[in-house]
Structure 1
Amino acid sequence: MHIVELRLSGFKSFVDPVRLVIEAGLTGVVGPNGCGKSNLLEAVRWAMGATSAKAMRAGDMDDVIFAGTNARPAREHAEVVLVLDASETKPPPGIPASDTLEISRRIKRESGSTYRVNGKEVRAKDVQLLFADASTGANSPALVRQGQISELIAAKPENRRRVLEEAAGIGGLHARRHEADLKLAAASANLLRLDEVASEIEAQRQALKRQARLAERYRGLANELRRTEALALHRRWTDASETLAAAQAELRASERDVAAAAEMASAARRAADEALGKLPALREEELVAATVLRRLEGERVGLERDLRDAEAVFARAEEALRRLSEDEERETQMRADADASLKRLDLESRGLSGVDNDGALAAAQTKFDALDTECRAKESALEAMVSAAASANAERAALETSVREARARLGRAEERLASLSRDIAEASAPSDVSKRIVDAEKHVAQTQVALEAARAAETAAEAALKDADATTRAAEMERARHERRRDEIAAEVRALEQLAAKPSGKSFPPVLADIDAAPGYEKAVAAALGDDIEASLATAAPLRWAGAETRAT
């Protein structure tokens, strides 16, 4: 494996793309310090997979990207491409075999590196193994960097041994050995995992065997279930057929019932019509009875009010009678006392006949006269009260008689009203008849609405009639005007006819004589030609046909 070409772009001091061809033999790069000779070697090491920024003389791997100068801006990425002659080398697995390998490493600031071999993106480890198989790489002793010789002199035996092994070309074997160890460890882990997976698969196989047995049993049960379902469906079909036959029989019976119900409905309709015919009379009677009832109710209320007044008067009369009775008893007692006093005074007067008792007798007589006058007044008042009580009793008896008669009339009116209400309730009982009555009432309401609409239409028609009358009058006036114009034209026609009737010395036949109209078209021809039908075809005629034009001379 030989490097035949090196291309750099944006790597350290190589800001512009640089292509370096390495021919067969010895190739030397000569230049002053700081011109970038070491950068070429570091570019080769970096492209071979170097991972140490310190080995690149940088603090960070992004430092290999051109950082810019006063005259040049910084770059965002750097790329190094190695072109190898691999005609004698077999690449590791994962890298396509080719006589020429183009290995590129591209780094983008803060994004890491990307490796490609012949345009195919690969891992960094694949590139490192590729160079390790060729006994070279980023850490190969063949790539001597600055200070490496002094490091080699001061190196430990282990480091020197590694340098010698790499110089002997067996450094890649250690990498392969390490890779093989890793693969063996991974294989061992995979085998352990496979054993675990095999155990799990065996457990799953046993479970699947159980499931297979269950599935077989399920298949048998499913077949049995389908057979049972088929029998059940057949049974259901048989039952459904029987049910259908029964339903058809019921349908026929129902049809007969419907026919009978239709007859009954027709009879009910006739009964409803009869009830509707009776309903206006019943309603009229109900209105009359309601009117009578309201009048009787008014009379009853008035009579009850009169009765209450009479009872109050009677109560007052009884109270007056009671007071008069008490007064009469008191007066009777007073009269008895007065009689006793008179007797006692008479005895005393007879016993005192010789005594001067004229003053006492006069006083007693005066008192007696006063008591007698008061007693007569009380008797007169008592007689008046008795007379008033008798009048009140008579008036009360008359009022009670009137109330009884009014109540009797009211009872008869209520019975009549109840009878009418029963008749109306029977006539409008909730049934098909009542529904039809309700429908009829709805129809009446609709008819009333239509009547209102008809009345509105009548009003509109009357307005339109007025407008039509006005239009008619205007038309009559226009007709009269046209008739006057017609009369004027008729007068002119008669004058022209008189002029045309004057003898001209020669008669010319009209065009009508030369027209032979088809049967049925005579009127059409006459309407089309009009008065021109009297014109002649003769050129000497005063009114003649000339081509398609009629002229009068």
Structure 2
Amino acid sequence: MHIVELRLSGFKSFVDPVRLVIEAGLTGVVGPNGCGKSNLLEAVRWAMGATSAKAMRAGDMDDVIFAGTNARPAREHAEVVLVLDASETKPPPGIPASDTLEISRRIKRESGSTYRVNGKEVRAKDVQLLFADASTGANSPALVRQGQISELIAAKPENRRRVLEEAAGIGGLHARRHEADLKLAAASANLLRLDEVASEIEAQRQALKRQARLAERYRGLANELRRTEALALHRRWTDASETLAAAQAELRASERDVAAAAEMASAARRAADEALGKLPALREEELVAATVLRRLEGERVGLERDLRDAEAVFARAEEALRRLSEDEERETQMRADADASLKRLDLESRGLSGVDNDGALAAAQTKFDALDTECRAKESALEAMVSAAASANAERAALETSVREARARLGRAEERLASLSRDIAEASAPSDVSKRIVDAEKHVAQTQVALEAARAAETAAEAALKDADATTRAAEMERARHERRRDEIAAEVRALEQLAAKPSGKSFPPVLADIDAAPGYEKAVAAALGDDIEASLATAAPLRWAGAETRATAWPKGVTPLADHVTAPP
């Protein structure tokens, strides 16, 4: 194996793509300091799988990418390609044999490196083993860098041994040996794990025995449950049939009720039409009676007003009579007082006739004159009173006449009022026309009530009919569901009978043998499998699990699916 061609792009100082062909013989690269001679050797090491940034004279592996100058921008990636003569070299696994191998390493800033062999992406370890098998590589002593000779002279024996092993062509065996040691350690760990798995399987086998017994018991209970469900379904079907028959009978009765109600409604409509035909004539007669009644009411109001006027006149006459009576009493009293005064004067005059005394006579004369004056005054008053009494008597007579006339008018008014009241009562009493109107209205009301009752009966009958239809549909659906369930049970029975009638000469392990349930979840697994617990995963088994696509399910918070506690085949 030797390098035929080297291509660089964006690696350190080689910003532009560079192709370097290495012919047979010796090839030398000559140039001044800083022209990139050491970068060529580092590019070869880097393409061979070097992992040390320090060996690349860089602080980080991204530093091998061209960082840019004042005149040129930085690059985002770098790539180095080695073309090898592989006519005598075995390619890595998965790479077709070819006379040449094109090994490339490409790095992108902050994204790491990718390796390719003949265009196929490989691991860095594959590239390193490829060069190690050829007794070369990124750390090969054949790649002498600056100052490496002096380091070799001053190196420790162990480092010198590594150089000698690589020179002898056995340097790749160390990498192979290290890989074999890692595989041996992994195999030992796997053996330990197998021992643990065997003990766990034994524990699971014991648990599965218990689960099998539980499953057998569950199967018996399931069979009993199916029989019970079949009996219950038959009972429900019988009840539904009886309910259907009752609903149909009720439906027929409701239809008869609807027909009767419709007949009643028709008769009520005819009666209402007849009553409405008679109503205009009755309304006209009612208007005539109402007109007469209003006229009589007007006359009654006028008579009541005349009666109130007569009563007011009579009251005034009574008051005048009372005043005249008082005046008459007062005049009688004055007349009595005047008679008493005359008698007293007469007695005094007789007593004075026998007295000779002039003084006494003069006094008596004076007293007499006074009494005479008083008497004349009283006589004048008496005459005035008599005149007043005469006037009062005349006025009283006139008033009595007025009262008698008023009482006569009052009697006539009362008689007229009574007559008007009788006329009003007779006018207000229901006549034949009014009676006919009232009877017609009552008949119309009764007809409307009967019509409403018929409509209500028709609505109730329609509702009962709808309920009966709904009950019938529900019963039919229940019967169809029971028939489907009966067909399913019959199909299961036929399948079980066929399986029992055709025993297979080959036994297949049940799926329970391939299931590992966590402790405490055996019952849950048995309940989940149900009657299919004895089905097998074998494709030739008569009862087998075919498998299904696993769907992602959003479980509620706090709910753990049973699959997290069960290990089973996919």
Tell me the alpha carbon deviations over residues 66-123 of structure 1, each in whole angstroms, 9 at most, x when there is no partner.
4456776654432211122344444555656555321101223444322111111122
Tell me the alpha carbon deviations over residues 415-441 of structure 1, each in whole angstroms, 9 at most, x when there is no partner.
999999999999999999999999999
Q: Return the alpha-carbon distance in structure 1 between the equivalents of residues 485 and 337 of structure 2.
A: 133
Farther off after superposition, 426-435 or 501-510: 501-510
**TM value normalised by structure 2:** 0.51
Instruction: Label 1:354 to 1:430 Cα distance change in 2 as closer, same or farther (>3 A).
Output: closer
Instruction: Label 1:157 to 1:401 Cα distance change in 2 as closer, same or farther (>3 A).
Output: farther
CA contact 1:115–1:123 (8 Å) conserved in 2: yes
CA contact 1:289–1:416 (8 Å) conserved in 2: no
Q: Return the alpha-carbon distance in structure 1 between the equivalents of residues 265 and 375 of structure 2.
A: 91
SS where residue 143 of structure 2 aligns? coil
CA contact 1:268–1:432 (8 Å) conserved in 2: no
SS where residue 349 of structure 2 aligns? helix
Root mean square deviation of aligned Cα: 36.7
CA contact 1:10–1:16 (8 Å) conserved in 2: yes
Q: Return the alpha-carbon distance in structure 2 between the equivalents of residues 152 and 400 of structure 1.
A: 178
CA contact 1:31–1:37 (8 Å) conserved in 2: yes
Tell me the alpha carbon deviations over residues 488-507 of structure 1, each in whole angstroms, 9 at most, x when there is no partner.
99999999999999999999
Instruction: Label 1:111 to 1:275 Cα distance change in 2 as closer, same or farther (>3 A).
Output: same
Tell me the alpha carbon deviations over residues 43-77 of structure 1, each in whole angstroms, 9 at most, x when there is no partner.
11010112233322334433333445677665443
Instruction: Label 1:136 to 1:235 Cα distance change in 2 as closer, same or farther (>3 A).
Output: same
CA contact 2:58–2:64 (8 Å) conserved in 1: yes
Farther off after superposition, 71-80 or 435-444: 435-444
SS where residue 87 of structure 1 aligns? coil
Instruction: Label 1:18 to 1:335 Cα distance change in 2 as closer, same or farther (>3 A).
Output: farther
Q: Partner of 1:32 in structure 2?
A: 32
Instruction: Label 1:433 to 1:109 Cα distance change in 2 as closer, same or farther (>3 A).
Output: farther
Instruction: Label 1:489 to 1:48 Cα distance change in 2 as closer, same or farther (>3 A).
Output: closer
Instruction: Label 1:34 to 1:222 Cα distance change in 2 as closer, same or farther (>3 A).
Output: same
SS where residue 544 of structure 2 aligns? strand
Q: Partner of 2:515 in structure 1?
A: 515
Q: Return the alpha-carbon distance in structure 1 between the equivalents of residues 477 and 248 of structure 2.
A: 80
Q: Return the alpha-carbon distance in structure 1 between the equivalents of residues 132 and 551 of structure 2.
A: 130
C-alpha deviation, 1:517, in angstroms: 114
SS where residue 516 of structure 2 aligns? coil
Count of aligned residue pairs for this structure pair? 553
Gaps of 5+ in 1: none
CA contact 2:251–2:465 (8 Å) conserved in 1: no
Instruction: Label 1:78 to 1:376 Cα distance change in 2 as closer, same or farther (>3 A).
Output: farther
Instruction: Label 1:115 to 1:400 Cα distance change in 2 as closer, same or farther (>3 A).
Output: farther
CA contact 2:510–2:537 (8 Å) conserved in 1: yes
CA contact 1:536–1:545 (8 Å) conserved in 2: yes
CA contact 1:84–1:101 (8 Å) conserved in 2: yes
Farther off after superposition, 534-543 or 200-209: 534-543
SS where residue 327 of structure 1 aligns? helix
Farther off after superposition, 372-381 or 188-197: 372-381
SS where residue 545 of structure 1 aligns? coil
Instruction: Label 1:345 to 1:497 Cα distance change in 2 as closer, same or farther (>3 A).
Output: farther
CA contact 1:3–1:84 (8 Å) conserved in 2: yes
Q: Partner of 1:371 in structure 2?
A: 371
C-alpha deviation, 1:135, in angstroms: 3.1
CA contact 2:105–2:115 (8 Å) conserved in 1: yes
Farther off after superposition, 306-315 or 48-57: 306-315
Tell me the alpha carbon deviations over residues 436-460 of structure 1, each in whole angstroms, 9 at most, x when there is no partner.
9999999999999999999999999
Instruction: Label 1:421 to 1:362 Cα distance change in 2 as closer, same or farther (>3 A).
Output: same
C-alpha deviation, 1:145, in angstroms: 0.7
Instruction: Label 1:217 to 1:330 Cα distance change in 2 as closer, same or farther (>3 A).
Output: farther
Instruction: Label 1:506 to 1:363 Cα distance change in 2 as closer, same or farther (>3 A).
Output: farther
* Bigger relative contact order, structure 1 or 2 (CA pairs below 8 A, ≥6 apart): 2
Tell me the alpha carbon deviations over residues 363-385 of structure 1, each in whole angstroms, 9 at most, x when there is no partner.
99999999999999999999999
Instruction: Label 1:390 to 1:518 Cα distance change in 2 as closer, same or farther (>3 A).
Output: farther
SS where residue 430 of structure 1 aligns? coil
Q: Return the alpha-carbon distance in structure 2 between the equivalents of residues 312 and 140 of structure 1.
A: 157
CA contact 1:134–1:172 (8 Å) conserved in 2: yes
Farther off after superposition, 510-519 or 392-401: 510-519
Farther off after superposition, 394-403 or 321-330: 394-403
C-alpha deviation, 1:138, in angstroms: 1.3
Q: Return the alpha-carbon distance in structure 2 between the equivalents of residues 260 and 181 of structure 1.
A: 105
Instruction: Label 1:74 to 1:373 Cα distance change in 2 as closer, same or farther (>3 A).
Output: farther
Gaps of 5+ in 2: 554-570
CA contact 1:53–1:60 (8 Å) conserved in 2: yes
Farther off after superposition, 165-174 or 413-422: 413-422
Q: Partner of 2:49 in structure 1?
A: 49
**TM value normalised by structure 1:** 0.52
Q: Return the alpha-carbon distance in structure 2 between the equivalents of residues 509 and 171 of structure 1.
A: 53
Q: Return the alpha-carbon distance in structure 2 between the equivalents of residues 519 and 304 of structure 1.
A: 115
Farther off after superposition, 137-146 or 208-217: 208-217
Q: Return the alpha-carbon distance in structure 2 between the equivalents of residues 310 and 413 of structure 1.
A: 9
Tell me the alpha carbon deviations over residues 182-234 of structure 1, each in whole angstroms, 9 at most, x when there is no partner.
44555566666667777777777777777766666565555545544444444
CA contact 1:80–1:106 (8 Å) conserved in 2: yes
Q: Return the alpha-carbon distance in structure 1 between the equivalents of residues 173 and 548 of structure 2.
A: 128
Q: Return the alpha-carbon distance in structure 2 between the equivalents of residues 179 and 500 of structure 1.
A: 57
SS where residue 19 of structure 2 aligns? strand
C-alpha deviation, 1:296, in angstroms: 7.9
SS where residue 545 of structure 2 aligns? strand
Tell me the alpha carbon deviations over residues 312-351 of structure 1, each in whole angstroms, 9 at most, x when there is no partner.
9999999999999999888888887787777767766776
C-alpha deviation, 1:142, in angstroms: 1.8
SS where residue 8 of structure 1 aligns? strand
